[in-house]
A and B are shown apart, each in its own frame.
Chain A
């Protein structure tokens, strides 16, 4: 069994046909979904790429892997999708938008080229077709500025600035123009990139032996939550700062012809479950992670929503932590302890915070999770201070 993750960055569920999009055409994604398992409520572990993808490859929530920023130190000894698969004899490879960021220094990721075009991945597939492999294709076609050709860096940066300026202008036409850019990018991603990728898998005769997950790392927003549109100052404010539904709901389709029956799954799952799910499908069940295999849910032996934690980061620190447990979503500002709580069934747009009505178990779970994120060991110096104070007092 081969494993493929095809990730379309910043893809909102409401812009995918099989998730109910009305003005975007994504027949390739829809067809993929129709032949596999479509997770209707898949929640990313963070609202931006760095912590979210690290969760997807490690099976750990951001509050436990600590990859809060591209510069954060992550324990290189953490098992990940690539190292576990490689140890079992699979060949790992990945294609990323920029080799200076994604998977930089991640053991086993074996970054083999850029995902700007399909060329590298196609070549890689052809070279490794006869051996079991795990391939991560991280497409940036749907990431702002919604134009994949980012090798021309200067133009690409200007295009990004234009998007931000469009949001800040608060003009309907500017907003419509950039959203149209997004819709085109989604269609291009689905009908040109994904379609060609799948066609190549098919052509190489690999489709039947491959479990493919089509996913995104987070959603997108265009200043909807901002009263002052001027406050949208960069990508961070489109996906990264807030944990609202439009940025944490992600498409997730698991396709493995002959292995996964066509099904729609309405239970909530977290993208932290991705890595143990894929490894389980390749015959490597794992436990002891935050995530666990979704195979029981896919096969119908497990029912009900799994809890999903969502971590917000700011400047390399954990700044927010949320627990989404339908119908509730409880969010905590780490520094100030301020809470927000929404009834997603009654208030799907998260307009009316009602922290006083949240079931106590939810708050307890969120508190426990927050505690698990914090370093509790005293430093040697702190330890010495306390010990000497207690010794002076005659207690030790």
Chain B
């Protein structure tokens, strides 16, 4: 039984609120727990698919939500389930004759046929979409929970009460459905992911974290995240009724959460460095594409999001490439150094990492970014806009919630047969699938990048 909590933060569960989360604390006492180091980038897409397949983003050819489909300037796709071609846990368990219940695991819309049932993830457009396998399950869901919710919406508004209401409703319906499926379907593997923690962190972190720039003492949402975790703990207890003494229970997250200090406007920075040219001066804050990029004078461009993907404009590779192929490595090294040297707004150094994909992935499939940049040890995010009054640094909430960013380490708790009460330890997200397979007595495919922790957990 894999209970995925998107973005659940280990320090909150293991330390700050352990006493308030009796269900999770009980599992921790019975088993093993600790930080679960995520992949780079530590982000929902592709991290959950990496966990379920024990393959790196490079293997999957998925480097984030939006990926380049080719070396043109416009070829892009949102990496939904169709992009994931590697077998995931339920495929492997199905091949060995077992049935699975897969509920909301990111990377499962559109759903694929499997032995068992699958309910599409948060990238499902709406309940009108074909979001289940088998298709008839969709009607059953409507009968059991009413309108199933894939995600909460409205993050740009400041109606926090509405956001809270949505997250609770979404969570309750998902757990109600989980309960129903566990009751009515056979399963060797139950895998679900609740998006609520991630949405709560992005929407409410600043109300809780005394070190956040926007923290206000005594605000009404000070305990919103804690209360939600307590609610989740109760929901998890409800599902654990279906876990007998023979069931291995894993509570996992794809990454953690931490305070967000601000954003680096990566394209604005490139423009100021003379590396990105536009057709016209931006009239206010906009995307470089809104005013048109002058590709013939552009060396590099970037994408926003919680981390930056930097693409170089290489002659013979991009349609209007400017970097000679023989200069590629030199330009890339130079750019990486300069990106890593971007200071905070007061000129203090940030702990920024600019990774080359081939250095962090054993295999690089698809069209990878030339650099993957994590600003300020994930305390800073990447913003794709240019123009306007702001400089390179931004602190405003105009491009999405800016309360929290992802932390590199997620969490895991393992309890059940084969897991001794052994306290805190470290694990890697890629180790989850091989560990599960070994504990189920199945072969671990050699292509898996992680290793089984079964012998260490005993």
By beta carbon, the residue of chain A nearest B138 is A335
Cross-chain contact B135 with A335 (CB below 8 angstroms): yes
Interface residues of B in 86-128 (CB under 8 A from A): 91, 94-97, 110, 112-115, 117, 123, 125-126
Whether B82 lies near A394 (C-beta < 8 A) is no
A393 in complex: contacting residue of B80, B130, B401, CB < 8 Å:
B401
The reply to whether the CB of A123 lies closer than 8 angstroms to some CB of chain B is: no
Q: Quick one: which of B351-409 are within 8 Å of A by CB?
A: 381, 399-402
> B345: shortest Cβ distance to chain A, in Å?
20
Is B305's CB under 8 angstroms from A396's CB? Answer: yes
Contact B381 A394 (CB under 8 A): yes
Interchain CB contact under 8 A, A376 and B95: no
- B375 CB to nearest A CB, Å: 14
Shortest distance between the CB of A321 and any CB in chain B (Å): 9
Considering only CB atoms, which chain B residue lies closest to A378 in the complex? B125
Interface-centre pick from A383, A386, A391 (highest chain B CB count, 10 A): A386
Which one of B11-19, B147-155, B217-225, B238-246 is at the interface? Answer: B147-155
- On whether the beta carbons of B65 and A390 are closer than 8 Å, the reply is yes
- Nearest-neighbour CB distance to chain A for B47, whole angstroms, equals 13
Closest Cβ of chain B: how far from A68's Cβ, in Å? 15
- Verify if B156 is at the interface (C-beta below 8 Å from A): yes
Across the interface, do B110 and A374 meet the contact criterion of CB distance under 8 Å?
Answer: yes
Q: Which residues of A contact B55 (CB under 8 A)?
A: none
B100 → A minimal CB distance (Å): 12
Given the complex, which residues of B lie within 8 Å of A387, measured CB to CB? 78
A306 within 8 A of B: no
Assess whether B400 is in contact with A385, with CB atoms less than 8 Å apart: no
Nearest to B157 among chain A residues (CB) is A392
B94 lies within 8 A of A395 (CB): no
Report B398 CB to chain A, min CB distance, Å.
10
Main SS at interface, chain B: loop
Is residue A228 within 8 Å, beta carbon to beta carbon, of the partner chain? no
1/0 per residue, CB under 8 A from B, across A339-379: the answer is 00000000000000000100010011011001100101010
Tell me how far the C-beta of B51 lies from the nearest C-beta in chain A, rounded to whole angstroms.
Answer: 18
Known A-B contacts A360-B96, A386-B78; the reply to A371 vs B112 at CB < 8 A is yes
User: A334 in the interface, Cβ–Cβ < 8 Å?
Assistant: yes
Tell whether, in the assembled complex, residue A396 and residue B130 are in contact, meaning their CB atoms are under 8 Å apart.
no
Chain A, range 317-351, C-beta contacts under 8 Å to B: 332-338
* Contact indicator A334/B135 (Cβ below 8 Å): yes
Judged by a CB distance under 8 angstroms, whether A75 is at the interface is no
**Is B317 interfacial (CB-CB < 8 Å)?**
no
For A100, list chain B residues within 8 Å (CB): none
Contact A390 B95 (CB under 8 A): no
State whether A394 and B401 are in contact (beta carbons under 8 Å apart), knowing that A336-B136, A376-B110 are contacts in the complex: yes
Residue tally, chain A, CB below 8 Å to B: 32
The answer to whether B126 touches A334 (Cβ under 8 A) is no
The distance from the CB of A132 to the nearest CB of chain B, in whole angstroms, is: 43
A371-B401 Cα distance, complex, nearest whole Å? 36
The reply to whether the CB of B343 lies closer than 8 angstroms to some CB of chain A is no
Q: Are B305 and A337 in contact (CB under 8 A)?
A: no
Q: Which residues of A contact B402 (CB under 8 A)?
A: 394
Chain A residue with the shortest CB-CB distance to B153? A389
Asked whether B306 is an interface residue with its Cβ less than 8 Å from the other chain, the reply is yes
Contact check, A360 vs B95: say whether CB atoms are below 8 A apart: yes
| A382 at interface by CB-CB < 8 Å | yes
In the complex, what residues of A have CB within 8 A of residue B64's CB? 395
A360→B151 contact, CB < 8 A: no
Q: Do A364 and B399 have beta carbons less than 8 Å apart?
A: no
Q: How far is the CA of A395 from the CA of B156 in the complex (A)?
A: 13
Nearest-neighbour CB distance to chain A for B379, whole angstroms, equals 15
Q: Is the CB of A395 within 8 A of B65?
A: yes
Q: Which residues of A contact B153 (CB under 8 A)?
A: 389, 392
Distance, CA A286 to CA B151, complexed state (A) = 47
Q: Given the complex of chains A and B, what is the CA–CA distance between A152 and B136 in angstroms?
A: 43
Could you say which of B65, B113, B202, B304 contacts A370, with CB atoms under 8 Å apart?
A: B113
From A333, A337, A356, A382, B133 is in contact (CB under 8 Å) with A337
Q: In whole angstroms, how far apart are the Cα atoms of A360 and B135 in the complex?
A: 22
Residues of A within 8 A of B130 (CB): 374
- Chain A residues with CB under 8 Å of B134's CB are 333-338
Instruction: Give Cα A376 to B123, complex, Å.
Output: 13
Total number of B residues with any Cβ neighbor in A under 8 Å: 44
Answer whether A337 and B400 are a contact pair too, CB < 8 Å, given A360-B94, A394-B155: no
- Tell me which residues across on chain A come within 8 A of B80, comparing CB atoms: 378, 386
In residues 17-65 of chain B, which contact A (Cβ within 8 Å)? 43, 64-65
State how many angstroms separate the Cβ of A118 from the closest Cβ of chain B: 46
Which residues of A sit under 8 angstroms from B137, Cβ to Cβ? Answer: 337
User: CB-CB < 8 A to A338: which residues of B?
Assistant: 134
Looking at the assembled complex, report how far the CB atom of A241 sits from the nearest CB atom of chain B, in whole angstroms: 18
B129 within 8 A of A: yes
Is B66 an interface residue, CB under 8 A from the partner?
yes
Out of A336, A374, A383, A394, name the residue touching B305 (CB < 8 Å): A394
In the complex, the answer to whether B114 meets A367 with C-beta atoms within 8 Å is yes
Interchain nearest-CB distance for B383 vs A (Å): 9
A333 and B134 alpha carbons, distance in the complex (Å): 9
Tell me the smallest distance from the CB of B97 to a CB of chain A, in Å.
6
**Distance in angstroms between the alpha carbons of A336 and B202 in the assembled complex:** 38
Contact mask for chain B residues 130-167; partner A; CB cutoff 8 A; 1 contact, 0 none: 10011111000000000000010111100000000000
State whether A396 and B304 are in contact (beta carbons under 8 Å apart), knowing that A335-B135, A374-B130 are contacts in the complex.
Answer: yes
A371 to B110, CA, bound (A): 10
Which A-chain residue is minimally distant from B117 (CB atoms)? A337
Say how far B9's CB is from chain A's closest CB, in angstroms.
17
What is the CA–CA distance of A332 and B114 in the complex, to the nearest angstrom? 11
CA–CA, A231 to B43, complex, Å? Answer: 55
Please name all residues of chain B whose beta carbon is closer than 8 Å to the beta carbon of A364 when the two chains form the complex.
91, 95
Q: Which residue of A lies closest to B151 (CB)?
A: A389
A378 to B77, CA, bound (A): 11
CB pair A363 B94 closer than 8 Å? yes
Whole-angstrom CA separation of A49 from B117 in the bound complex: 33
CB-CB under 8 A from B115, the residues of chain A are: 363
With A336-B136, A394-B402 known as contacts, the answer to whether A385 contacts B125 (CB < 8 A) is yes
> Nearest chain B CB to A356's CB is how many angstroms away?
6
Query: Could you tell me if B154 and A392 are in contact, using CB atoms closer than 8 angstroms?
Result: yes
Kindly state the separation between the CA atoms of A382 and B80 in the bound complex, as whole angstroms: 12
Nearest Cβ in chain B — how far from A165, in angstroms?
Answer: 34
Query: Across the interface, do A360 and B97 meet the contact criterion of CB distance under 8 Å?
Result: yes
Q: Which of A333, A382, A392 contacts B126 (CB 8 A)?
A: A382
A382 touches B129 (CB 8 A): yes
Which residues of B in the span 287-305 have a Cβ within 8 Å of any Cβ on A?
303-305
Residues of B close to A394: CB separation below 8 A: 155, 202, 304-306, 381, 399-402
Complex contacts, A336 vs chain B, CB 8 Å: 134, 136
Q: Nearest CB to that of A337 among chain B residues?
A: B134
Q: What would be 27 A-B contacts, judged by CB atoms less than 8 Å apart?
A: A337-B134, A338-B134, A356-B97, A360-B96, A363-B94, A364-B91, A367-B112, A367-B114, A371-B112, A376-B82, A382-B125, A382-B126, A382-B129, A385-B125, A385-B126, A386-B78, A392-B153, A392-B155, A393-B155, A393-B202, A393-B401, A394-B155, A394-B400, A395-B64, A395-B400, A396-B65, A396-B303
Which 3 A-B residue pairings sit nearest by Cβ, starting from the closest? Answer: A394-B400, A337-B134, A382-B125
With A393-B199, A394-B400 known, 18 other A-B pairs at CB within 8 A are A335-B136, A336-B134, A337-B136, A356-B97, A364-B91, A371-B112, A374-B130, A378-B80, A382-B125, A383-B125, A386-B123, A389-B153, A390-B65, A394-B155, A394-B202, A394-B401, A395-B305, A396-B304
